[in-house]
Structure 1
Amino acid sequence: MYPFGKGKARLIPYLYLSIPLLLYVVFGFGPSLVTILFSFTDATGVRGQEWSFIGFENYKTFFGASNAGDRMDAIGRSLYFAFAVVIIQNAVGLFIAILINKKLRGDKLYRAVFFLPVVLGVTVSGLIWQLVANPLGGPAQSFLNFFGTSSNFFGDYNIAFELIIFVQIWMYMGYSMTIFLAGLQSIPSDLYEAGYMDGASGWKAFTNITFPMIAPAFTVNMLLSIIGALQTFDIIYVLTGGKFNTTTLAFDVYATAFGTGTADYGLASAVAMIQFLFVFTISMVALFYLRRREVEA
């Protein structure tokens, strides 16, 4: 039996599949190949200007002595950013999911409120927190002044990176909450009833029943948050533009291509490839470890 008929009609599914495949090749796979190619050239992106292959010179420049300090600082900030975001975002998301899963009154409203930052988008979220944290009469500073403190906490540039971490967590904790909530709601109630009969309640029930059963959701959340945190560029661009020691490796790609006053697509492409290998390696190590933990659980 042929659900799409016989003859030429059987080609209809392939026709439907060809459209998204073409879009992926043009806007996904194609640019990736161009990035690899450009990383071995001195291309500037200026129309009409000639470019040539220069081998691994861009990669040597990235790891060169003149830039080593700045590059290592950017990599260090990327790791610090990812570590803080992944741990806190998933911990908060899991905590909220557990509360909502208890069938509280108005749980749908709470779910919508916590998921709202995901819907708002990066630009809107960034502008909101720029307004809130404005040291010159912003709501947060006014709140501190209301209690008689003269602290210029939000005017301290040394906490700019921590504020970016906070905003990143605020934006995506609702996403983590949703995935954890789906995992929690898939746990059969019979398991808890059997656990209670064996004396497992509270923390013991969480560690022996809940956490092992949501291991797949935990793996998904951890992997998505690791990749997302290491690739974060947009919120840094909106909030600080990379100033005040907030540049990460992902932001360095943009800064190299456009932020120096002269376009350098070749070097920026090399940085992008290093960024890809950086994210890919950490993600694969994390996935291998988390999958092993799933089996053990």
Structure 2
Amino acid sequence: MRNYIVFGRRSTAQLTFALGMALVVVFSLIPAVGILVISFTDIRSLPFLPVHWVGLENYRTFFSAAQLGYNTVALTNTFVFAFAVTLFQNSLALLIAVLLNQRLKGRNFARAVVFLPTILGVTVIGLIFTLIFNPAAGPAQQLWAAFGSSSAFFGDPNLAMALVIFVQVWSGIGVAVVIYLAGLQAIPQELYEVADIDGATSGQKLRNVTIPLLAPAVTANTLLCIIGSLQSYQLIYVLTGPINPATQVLSLAIFTQGFGGAQGGTVLSQGYAAAISMVQFVIVAIISLASLAYLRRRETAL
């Protein structure tokens, strides 16, 4: 009877794993292979057009002198956006998580408020901040006017990227806080009690107890933020449009090239968009793997 139960549980686990792998293959692996194949063609959105195998032509176009300026700006904005979002989101999330982990009155309500932006859709978030930073009569413009100045906000090339980064951090900080809170609550309280007996200050406890034991949560949050921000374009599209050079990122270039609004003198082509997406995949993979290796070494060192 015991063997039958064990066998049944093992069969259930194997079946669940097989179903999970089937979902990954159908919805991730097959589309990824399809994008790779498409990147070697000149497929376009217009129906009944013949599709030709063009080999590396789309990749040569991406790295050509004609596209160099546009793609350089997109790559630079992508790295600036990803670095800033990762830095500010993780720093603020860790600070908020440490505060909300204390025994404070109303902390459950505060946690709900912090997590609230996560459940809002991109369109809703975009609408909220478009109204707030409306250059005609938004609250931000009225505050700006109180100091005798004015701004186009998302239309200002010197301010647009900073505002988009702010909105992205605001919208994603809830998940990071939850992960840090889970890590903080897994730290045994006895360690803090021992540190109190030894006369450790709050800063020393944070540096010598909290941070080392929170390293796995830091790794998870950092990787999620890096991967997500390197591929993010939805908020940028809603807030600043598809053709704003100040906020043009690689993911947005893929979207505009594949679905409309492409810049750089290139004819709309899903084949070319697929080639850009493969370049992005390589960039994201290299940065993610390098970050993972570094963070794992830091975990061991701590």
| TM-score normalised according to structure 1 size | 0.92
1:152 aligns with 2:151: yes
Aligned residue pairs total: 294
Match of 1:284 in 2: 289
Match of 1:121 in 2: 121
Residues 288 and 20 of structure 1, relative CA distance in 2, 3 Å threshold: closer
Question: Pairwise mapping of residues 185-200 of structure 1 onto structure 2 (< 5 A)?
Answer: 185-200=185-200
Of 58-67 and 147-156, the range deviating more from structure 2 = 147-156
CA distance in 2, matches of 1:262, 1:14: 48
Identity %: 43
Encode CA deviations 1:25-55: one digit per residue, 9 max, x unaligned: 3332221111000111111133221112111
One-letter code aligned to 2:4: Y
Instruction: Give the CA deviation at 1:109.
Output: 0.4
CA distance in 1, matches of 2:253, 2:35: 15
CA distance in 1, matches of 2:18, 2:294: 36
CA distance in 2, matches of 1:207, 1:216: 15
Task: Assess if the C-alpha contact under 8 Å between 1:46 and 1:263 holds in 2.
Answer: no
CA distance in 2, matches of 1:19, 1:34: 21
1:275 aligns with 2:280: yes
Question: Pairwise mapping of residues 87-236 of structure 1 onto structure 2 (< 5 A)?
Answer: 87-145=87-145, 147=146, 149-152=148-151, 154=153, 156-236=156-236
Instruction: Give the CA deviation at 1:67.
Output: 0.7
- Structure 1 residues not aligned, in runs of 5+: none
Residues 98 and 17 of structure 1, relative CA distance in 2, 3 Å threshold: closer
Match of 1:76 in 2: 76
CA distance in 1, matches of 2:198, 2:7: 58
Match of 1:254 in 2: 255
Say which SS state the counterpart of residue 65 (structure 2) adopts: coil
One-letter code aligned to 2:255: Y
One-letter code aligned to 2:295: L
CA distance in 1, matches of 2:298, 2:14: 39
One-letter code aligned to 1:149: G
Say which SS state the counterpart of residue 203 (structure 1) adopts: helix
| TM-score normalised according to structure 2 size | 0.90
CA distance in 2, matches of 1:215, 1:141: 41
